Chains A and B, each alone.
Chain A
Amino acid sequence: MNGFTWAFARDLRIAWRHPGETLLVIAFFALVCTLFPLGIGAEPRILERVGPGVIWVCALLAAFLSLPAMFAADYTDGSLEQMTLSPHPMMAWASGKIAAHWAVTGLPLTVLSPLLALQYGLDGATLGTLAFGLLIGTPLLSLLGAACSALTLGARGGGVLLALLALPLFVPVLIFGAGAAEAQAAGVSPAPHLSLLGAGLLAGCVALPPAVCAAIRIALD
């Protein structure tokens, strides 16, 4: 078993044993997405206008909720030391952990998003673009979040620091993700936005795992 599959399988198993945290993130996403139409009122044109942006902001905040626990639990119980001292390269298991984080947060959010977007009266094509945007945007959120989460390991007031670090970094993902769905709704091609989002994801896949590793090393030193 290589380091990636080891970490991925382990984290999924832990999430499965302790589903409260995952369900909390999903419930938060569903609830906040539902609160907006109730608060704004049933004006179809306004709902249609704000829908993609609101759903993206909710997804972003929901993904953020799960970040503090990403490495902190392994840091306090000594698992992170054991992983660092294992024969597997750190990059492999750190990437496995990030992938597992996406599988238990980003993926369910993506799957749920078209259903929640129905409340905003978005048409079929916009629903598809929104979900596709989330599909390539949420892994990038997990990657960015992992780097920030690893950087705040062992810091006092880590939660607030994490918000200050991660949320600004999420901004480009939000702009292009919501932009894609809005372009689709306005009858313009969403391709440029999605391309930029995809490019961001590729760049993140290459650049962020080493940053995560460096941050973990600093935390353990």
Chain B
Amino acid sequence: MRLFRDVSFAAQAGEWVEVRGPNGSGKTTLLRGLAGLTRLEAGEVLWNGAPPRADEFRADVLYAGHAAGVKDELTVEENLQVALALRGITVQAGAFDEAIARVGLARRRRLPARRLSAGQRRRIGMARLVLDPAPLWILDEPLTALDADGEALFNALLEQHVAAGRVAVIATHQPLAARPAREVRLGA
């Protein structure tokens, strides 16, 4: 089935791209294709001007989809530790505590994730955004389940990310504070 065609966009360092479109227009498929999870029927993805080598590209990409990848059995800090270890990132204890405090989970850090609300689980994902230096973010509906405070925090993180000369591709229905450099419209 063809979801979309003739989609082309580029992002320079310090820019982020917003992907918009009605439900079912292929936003998630496009993002998964960019990240390398889904094989796109046609077209190519270039990273630093060249087709990326899969293993190097994966180290540069932080992908966050609909499901947050949070394990119910593990505590907040264990979830974060496990996620960072998977990405091969080592952080100082101070930075780790600071990230947990910044996303507002300091008092719940030893609570198993199954006791958290949907928004709090999202915040574990945000702590990853704080600590992961990946130059490319691919985020699918990052504001889902977040409260006003969480949205403000996400906007601040995105601004920081872009100001550091890094790149993001974000599918979202809600407007974000930072203006996107490009907007990709899918569907009708």
Contact = CB atoms under 8 A, between A and B. Distances in A.
Interface string A87-105: 1110000000000000000
Interface residues of B, number: 28
Contacts, number: 65
A129 B39 CA distance: 48
A13 B37 contact: no
Contacts of A85: 35-37, 58, 61, 63
A86 B87 contact: yes
Nearest to B72: A77
A221 B41 CA distance: 12
A88 B88 contact: yes
Contacts of A119: none
Interface string A197-214: 000000000000000000
Contact of A87 (B70, B73, B83, B87): B87
Interface string B25-43: 0000000000111110000
A156 interface: no
Nearest to A75: B67
A88 B85 CA distance: 10
Nearest to A2: B88
Contact of A17 (B55, B83, B112): B112
A15 to B, nearest CB: 9
Contacts of B73: 13-14, 17-18
Given A1-B85, A221-B38, A81 B63 contact: yes
Contacts of A221: 37-39
B66 A14 contact: no
A83 B87 CA distance: 9
Interface in B36-74: 36-39, 55, 58-59, 61, 63, 65-74
29 contacts: A1-B85, A10-B82, A13-B73, A14-B74, A17-B74, A76-B67, A77-B67, A77-B70, A77-B72, A78-B67, A78-B68, A81-B37, A81-B63, A81-B65, A82-B83, A83-B86, A85-B36, A85-B61, A85-B63, A86-B58, A86-B86, A87-B58, A87-B87, A88-B86, A88-B88, A220-B37, A220-B38, A221-B37, A221-B39
Given A13-B78, A82-B83, A89-B55, 9 more contacts: A13-B73, A78-B70, A79-B69, A85-B35, A85-B58, A87-B87, A88-B86, A88-B88, A221-B39
Interface of A: 1, 6, 10, 13-14, 17-18, 76-79, 81-89, 220-221
